């Protein structure tokens, strides 16, 4: 674990806002997370990719930057695969991993910025797909008791851009991993937004999940600047 003091958050939020935090701890595993939480008395902020957080002033507390990594195969059958994904994985990299391995379902969620751990927070969605339909379990550490709790899909109380982690349990948990159920057969969904016309323009009539992902990436890149180049 690295612990830095009086550090700029500029490279840790997609707006590129140059405020400082009193402490910044980068955690790479659950033991490090437990350790830093058990010794902390400061106000706390959990940070994933920093794409849905707006810092307006210096933070007089501890920011925990999530670097929990790893993708674990939990179970599979002829039609589905279950992957437990550490919450610090980058969302889009996970989507690309699924596409490479032909695990289907989340291709329409390509290029959404942020971490896997933040995806259940607001039930990320785009182009007719919501992540809740692929989540089977969320594992989270209670910030005070440090106990690990497992939330089923029902427990998560998913709603449009919302979940229990934004409502009843707001500020109570650090999401440590998310388990996804992906399909082995594609169920292509091109009905939303400009996906269909993007595919037609490329002369693709029978798209793969990679084609859909590429189309979504093209559309998104044409609409919004890359936050790495222009903060947004
Ligand atoms: C250009 C752009 C495009 C976007 N497009 C979409 C879109 O199409 N659809 C969509 O749904 N969203 C979209 N978003 C919003 C954003 O990408 C998502 O909300 C994303 O899930 C945020 O992830 P993050 O890791 O950056 O979260 P952060 O900004 O780091 O954190 C967001 C909130 O979640 C909390 N949090 C983060 N990780 C954890 C954790 N492990 N445990 C507990 N709490 C945690 C933080 O404390 C904070 O309150 C977009 C944002 C940008 C900038």
DSSP β-bridge partners for residue 162 = 159
- 24: Cβ contacts below 8 Å, ≥ 6 apart: 3, 4, 5, 7, 9, 12, 62, 63, 65
- The whole-angstrom separation of Cα 91 and Cα 76 is 21
Ordered by start, the domain boundaries in the chain are 2-66, 71-183
Quick check: CB of 123 below 6 Å from ligand 1?
Answer: no
Q: Say what the pLDDT of residue 228 is.
A: 59
Residue of 53 and 226 predicted with greater confidence: 53
pLDDT at 157: 98
H or E stretch including 148?
strand 148-152
Residue located nearest, by CA, to atom 34 of ligand 1: 118
Residue 120 in contact with ligand 1 by CB distance below 6 A? no
Query: Rounded distance, CA 91 to CA 9, Å?
Result: 20
Kindly report, residue by residue over 109-131, the tens digit of the pLDDT.
999 999 999 999 999 999 999 99
Calculate how far, in angstroms, residue 9's C-alpha sits from the geometric centre of ligand 1: 16
State percent of the chain over pLDDT 90. Answer: 94
Class of domain 71-183: alpha beta
Fold of 2-66: 3.30.43
Percent pLDDT > 70 in the chain is: 97
Sign of CA dihedral 92, 94, 99, 100: positive
ipTM confidence: 0.99
- Cβ(121) – ligand 1 distance below 6 Å: yes
Cα separations (Å) of 145 from 1, 32, 34? 21, 15, 10
Q: What is the pLDDT of residues 208-222, one digit of tens each?
A: 999 999 999 999 999
């Amino acid at each position: 674990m690295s612990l830095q003091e009086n550090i700029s958050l500029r490279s840790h939020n997609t707006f590129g806002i140059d405020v400082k935090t009193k402490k910044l701890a980068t955690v790479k595993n659950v033991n490090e997370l437990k350790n830093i939480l058990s010794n902390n008395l400061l106000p706390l902020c959990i940070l994933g990719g920093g794409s849905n957080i707006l810092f307006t002033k210096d933070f007089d507390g501890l920011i925990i930057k999530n670097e929990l990594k790893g993708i674990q195969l939990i179970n599979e059958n002829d039609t589905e695969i279950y992957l437990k994904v550490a919450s610090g994985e980058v969302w889009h990299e996970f989507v690309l991993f699924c596409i490479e391995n032909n695990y289907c379902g989340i291709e329409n969620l390509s290029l959404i910025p942020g971490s896997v751990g933040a995806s259940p927070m607001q039930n990320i969605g785009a182009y007719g797909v919501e992540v809740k339909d692929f989540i089977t379990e969320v594992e989270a550490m209670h910030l005070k008791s440090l106990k690990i709790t497992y939330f089923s899909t029902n427990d998560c109380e998913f709603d449009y851009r919302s979940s229990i982690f934004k409502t009843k349990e707001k500020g109570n948990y650090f999401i440590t991993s998310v388990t996804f159920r992906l399909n082995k057969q594609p169920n292509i969904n091109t009905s939303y937004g400009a996906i269909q016309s993007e595919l037609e323009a490329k002369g693709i009539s029978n798209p793969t999940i990679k084609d859909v992902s590429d189309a979504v990436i093209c559309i998104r890149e044409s609409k919004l600047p890359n936050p790495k180049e222009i903060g947004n």
